[in-house]
Each structure stands twice: as C-alpha cells, then as structure tokens.
Structure 1
Amino acid sequence: YFSHFYIISVLWNGFLLWHLTQSLFLGVPFPNWLHGLLSILGAAQFQGGELALSAFLVLVFLWLHSLRRLFECFYVSVFSNAVIHVVQYCFGLVYYVLTGLTVLSQVPMDGRNVYVIGKNLLMQARWFHILGMLMFIWSSVHQYKCHVILGNLRKNKAGERPFRATACRF
C-alpha cells in the first residue's frame, strides 16, 4: 500500500508546517537542528518579498494533498496484490521528507526566524497566489474524482475487475 508514504508526509510536513506557522505568526524561532538542516540545504537569507507567503502556501497545500491522498488510500483506492521494489519504496519515503524541507529552505530567514517584509504576511499576497490556490483546489477535486472512478473499476479488495474479458475462439 502507498499509505506509508502519505502517513510519513502528513506527519513530517505537518510538523514542518507547525514550525513555519509558529515562526510566521508568533515569532518563534526554528529549532537549532532544523535551522542547521535548512542551512545545509541552502536556506535563503533575506531574499524575495513574496517567498514567505509562497512557501507557507506551498507547505499548506503539500500537507493538504498528502492528507487527501492518505484518505484516498484508506477509503477510495483498491489495490492489487502487487509489490513495490524496496528502492522505489525508500525513494518514495525520502521524497516526501525532502519535499517539505526543500519548500522550507526557500523561506527567507533572519537568523533562526522567518523574515517577513513589513511583518504582515497577508500584504504579500499577489495575483499568482490566488491563481495557485484556485489551481490547487481545481486539480485536487479533479484528481479525487479520477481516483474514485479508478477505484470503482475494481470489484473488491482482491483487485478483481467487475467484468471478465473472454476471448473468442473459433
């Protein structure tokens, strides 16, 4: 099952989102270990006016996407008995951990705190933030509908299809 990927993503990226939210809205600095890790990844120092809001929105949407996919794994998708190679499995786990860290490394930093121009995050909102939110909502709804359709093509948890193709024999 793919639920392991999304469990890790929901927990890890939720943890990162929690720290980013606390830093943005409450002024709480990132923990030393997280700041050090972000420095290794090349965290931005005072760059870009919209980067704090952009990174916040991307991390929120990544977390929401992972939460929706976790829901789909448990309640929508019907998986076959196929197995995944251990390398692909490890890559999937590492992917969701590094994706959140990569997003967080783009946040402009002032020491261990997030740097926000004007100290008002909502004043950073631009047209592309609105467009990005609308695209995320539309694509999430569309992907969910597609997964429901694909899940309904399978008859049961064993992965049997609702129809059996028969070959014509002459």
Structure 2
Amino acid sequence: MAVSVLAYLYLVFAVVIFVLGLVQNSTIKLPQILQDTLLYGKSRGKRNEWTVMRYLEIPKSYFRYFYAVGIVANSAHLALAVQAYVFGVPPPAIYQQVVSAVSAEQVTTDALGTLLCISLMLIQDLRRLYECYFISVYSKSTMNLLHFLLGFYLYITFGWTVLSEAPSLNTAPLQHLHIGLITWYHIVGVIMFALASWQHQVAHVTFANLRKTEGKVRNYAHRIPRGGLFEYVSSPHYLMEIIIYLAFATVVGLRNISVWSVFVFVLLNQAVCAILTQKWYLDNYKTYPKSRKTLIPFIY
C-alpha cells in the first residue's frame, strides 16, 4: 500500500522526538545541546552549560505564528478543495503538481471527509490564534528554532496531507459530494473535535488565570493549576490536543494512513511533553497532588 512522503516524514519526526523524550526522562541525561534542542519552557529547567543552540532560541510566544500561517494555508487548501468538489473548477496547475507529488496514489477518503477535516483544522487555527492574543499569558521562556520550523511544517502541509488520499481535484461539480456521504465517523469526529476544543480552551484559561488578579497580569511565575481536568491529569491541554487530532483522523476514516500519521506525530510529541511536565511538577513542588496522572485520567 502506497504511503505519501508527508506521512513518512511525520512518522520519522514522531519516532525521533519520542525516543529522545524517553531518554531525557530516564536516568540517562541527554547532552546539553540535545536538551536545548528538544526542551522548551519550564521543562528545560536550569541549564548547566552554554551551547550554540542558544543562538537559535526564540520566544515561546511565537507559537502564534504557527496559527497565523495555518489560517492562510488551510484557508487556501479549503477554498481550492471547495472550488473543485462543489463547482468543478480545478485548482491551478502548480497546486495540482504539489498534490500529485505528495500523493499516496490511493483514494481512501471521500470529498466530504476531506472538506470537513480541513475545515476543522482551520477552526483550530483560528481558535488557537485567538487564545494566543487574548487568553494566554506568556513568560519570557524560549523555544528552539527547530520547534518553530516543525510547527510551520505541520500547519503548512496539513492540507496537502489530507488531499494526498482524497478524490481527484479534477472532477465534475458535486461528483464526489452529496448528502448521502455523511457517515457515523464524520459525526463522531466533529463531536470529538467540539468537546476537546472546549476543554482545551478551558485549560488555557486556567493557566492564564494563575498569572492574573482581577483580570490583570500580576506575575509570570509557575503555579500548580487546579480545577476541572487538572484534578485528574497534569496536562489536560496536551490530552485535548491529542483528541483534537484524533478527531481529524476519525473524520477522514480509518484507511487514511497520511492523516493518521499526523495523529501519531501529535500523540507522541504531546505524550513526551506531558511526561516531562509531570516530572517537572513532581521535582519542583513537594505538595504536588500525587493522585494526578500524567496524561490519561485514572490510568497514566
């Protein structure tokens, strides 16, 4: 079964990040240069030596640019897909060449699932950009430029990843799109996305309120978050991010290896972040609730 080149890249990135993350969480410590590359924010902790990677550090608040780029990219992907599937107008030749170059050479997803998936990602981009500007309170912590570029890769290529296993964009109007195509996995995926997005924003509001008093930012210190899902896991925001991408994969169906590879990438990446976050809390707060799991309530 042919798999798109984008899927291979996502899986390679996922494995590398996961292995390095597990090593970092073990008794074996990575060299400082790899720690500077892998870790960011509070999980990085105190650094004992200087490395050249510090020249490549940028503010963590630059996360907002991921979503701004994602809005532009996914709006374009969605507009061109709607133009093709609904109105029968093929996209520009250069765009079709890119889709062809990354194609998995198999159609596993219907047109409706394709449009739904890209639409949900666009909604995700819009919501996260709103959170970055109007909810989140960022400290002066930094991240490595490689994290930044990896984020750009995700948000720019997501639409092409979905289209790599979608019906041809050279199609007659509504040939692949009609009401009868609505399936249980479309409905389940949309519901999962809505619920996870809601709880994802609740978690970020909770984080922001830890640094506010009467609606104004008073400090940038880290504190123990409480309430809601934080009573069960240390990183509900990472759990909800995983569920959001699971919703994307559900919407396109079980056979779309390319989108499921994106889910695996997000799953392993967020799992590593959650593991390192749990370790940081336990190392820095003697009173941290021992009953809180790392990522999955009551389980892990």
The answer to whether the superposition gives a TM-score over 0.5 is: yes
* Structure with larger RCO (C-alpha < 8 A, sep 6+): 1
Residue 93 (str. 1) matches residue 93 (str. 2): no
CA apart distance, 1:116: 8.0
Q: Number of aligned residue pairs: give it.
A: 161
Q: Distance in 2 between matches of 1:141 and 1:158?
A: 26
1:73 aligned to 122, 125, 132, which one?
132
Match of 2:91 among 25, 30, 39: 30
Distance 2:195 2:150 in 1: 28
RMSD (Å) for aligned C-alpha atoms: 2.5
Residue in 2 that maps onto 1:104: 163
TM-score, structure 2 as length reference: 0.49
Q: Which residue number in structure 2 is paired with residue 167 of structure 1?
A: none
What's the % identity of the aligned pairs?
A: 30
- Matched residue of 1:33: which SS? helix
The one of 51, 55, 73 equivalent to 2:110 is 51
Distance 1:79 1:73 in 2: 9
Cα distance in 1 for residues equivalent to 2:220 and 2:159: 33
5+ long unaligned stretches in structure 1: 164-170
What CA distance in whole angstroms lies between the structure 1 residues aligned with 2:161 and 2:82? 16
In 2, the alpha carbon distance for the partners of 1:157 and 1:20 equals 46
Distance 1:5 1:162 in 2: 26
Q: Deviations over 1:79-137 (max 9, x none)?
A: 1101111111111111111112101222111xx42478855432211111111111111
- Give every structure 1 segment of 4 or more consecutive aligned residues whose post-TM-superposition deviation is greater than 4 Å: 114-119
Quick one: structure 1 residues 99 and 158, their matched pair in 2 at CA, closer, same or farther if it must change by over 3 Å?
farther
Match of 1:5 in 2: 66
Judged with a 3 Å threshold, the aligned counterparts in structure 2 of structure 1 residues 116 and 103 are, in CA distance, closer, same or farther, namely: farther
Q: Distance in 2 between matches of 1:103 and 1:157?
A: 43
Q: Deviations over 1:35-57 (max 9, x none)?
A: 10011101556x34x52111111
In structure 2, stretches of 5+ residues that fail to align are 1-60, 225-300
For the residue of structure 2 that corresponds to 1:113, the secondary structure is: coil
Match of 1:134 among 191, 213, 219: 191
TM-score (normalised: structure 1): 0.84
**Are 2:139 and 2:220, in contact at CA under 8 Å, matched by a contact in 1?**
yes
1:16 is aligned, of 67, 73, 77, to 77
Q: Is the 8 A contact 1:52 1:121 kept in 2?
A: no
**Aligned equivalents of 1:79 and 1:134: distance in 2?**
30
SS in 2 for 1:84: strand
Of 198, 202, 205, 1:145 maps to 202
